Amino acid sequence: MNTTCTKSFNNKAKTIQKKYKFSNLILSLLVMGFGAQMQAQSYIENFVEIQDLAYKDWHMKNQSSALGQNDWSQGDVKVFSAYEGGAKDYIAANYNNASGFGNDNNISNWLITPNRIFRNGDTFSFYTRKRLNTIPDRLEVRFSNNGASTDTGNSATDVGDFSKILLTINPALTKTDYPTDWKKYTVTISDLDQPTSGRIAFRYYVTNAGLEGMNSDFIGIDTVEYTESKTLHTTNASVAHEIKIYPNPVKDILFINSKKEIHKVVILSIDGEKVFEKKSKNLNSVDVRQLNKGVYIINIYTENKHEILRFIKD
């Protein structure tokens, strides 16, 4: 965007936020519907100060079988330095996440990322490493499709809503299969039927762990990046759209203009909850009078195309 467009866009966003009293999170999602090629959901976290993570909708939950002396902590320059930025700019977990010893002493320490609306093709990447190649460590990356939920269960073996594993580093807990130098990992979101509100979580999960255990030492995570898929990114203003909706904002009937026959419409709330679905031949309008005021995502399906647009219910 050039400077003039950027100022105009920001003024429009502020006007919308003031009129409808949207939170910053909802505004950021709404921005994607008015700013061409804007990717408001994408983020990069470099862990400069981990005490600020809570303000960014990150969550930490230590469910180790016997809680240890610490939780996720700021990077320790005495162990190793960050991948980039300041030497301490990473987040770390270690054997002191659990206490005691024995096969039943397990570390299960969760680091949960911000709530986003995920689409097939979105990518999630990060760097990680451990300290020694003589003691096994393990890290899981898991996915929940249950909106803003942070439910990971209660025990060290529970996973709650995060039942889908996207990636496991060193699943067999060998001494050599977790990198001892910073290494980048990337996962691509797939197998979603539609845009889905959820979260991704890191789980430092090590069995027979703790100070007296055979496993668990010290790991770091740095430069976490979530990027929306450009192929599914849509805007109401783009002339590339084959499907248009109007009026927007809408009070009663939302009209759909498409050159191809529409056979299904699904509307999601801003939290990813399905609030409306209709299947019919040649759909060209939707009655939204029953919806509460707010921002919604509409999925429009033709025979060979799926478009995602956003609208405001006035």
Token readout for 1 is: 């965007």
DSSP code, position 67: B
The correct CATH number of 3-38+233-313 out of 3.40.50.300, 2.60.40.3080, 3.30.420.40, 1.10.10.1100 is: 2.60.40.3080
Q: Per mean pLDDT, which range of 36-45, 109-118, 175-184 is the poorest?
A: 36-45
Predicted TM-score (pTM) of this structure: 0.67
Sign of the dihedral through C-alpha 200, 202, 206, 211? negative
pLDDT for 237: 37
pLDDT for 185: 98
End-to-end CA distance of the chain: 28
- Compute the distance between CA of residue 215 and CA of residue 210 in angstroms, rounded to an integer: 7
Domain(s) of CATH 2.60.40.3080: residues in the chain:
3-38+233-313
Architecture of domain 43-227: Sandwich (2.60)
Q: E strands within 50-195?
A: 59-62, 73-74, 91-94, 107-112, 116-118, 123-130, 139-144, 164-169, 183-188
Domain(s) of CATH 2.60.120.200: residues in the chain:
43-227
Q: Which residues contact 149 (CB under 8 A, 6 or more apart)?
A: 160, 161, 198, 199
Query: Residue 30 phi/psi, 5° resolution?
Result: -65, -35
Residue 32, SS3? Answer: helix
pLDDT for 231: 56
- Compute the distance between CA of residue 140 and CA of residue 265 in angstroms, rounded to an integer: 36
Q: What is the rounded average pLDDT of the residues 203-220? A: 93
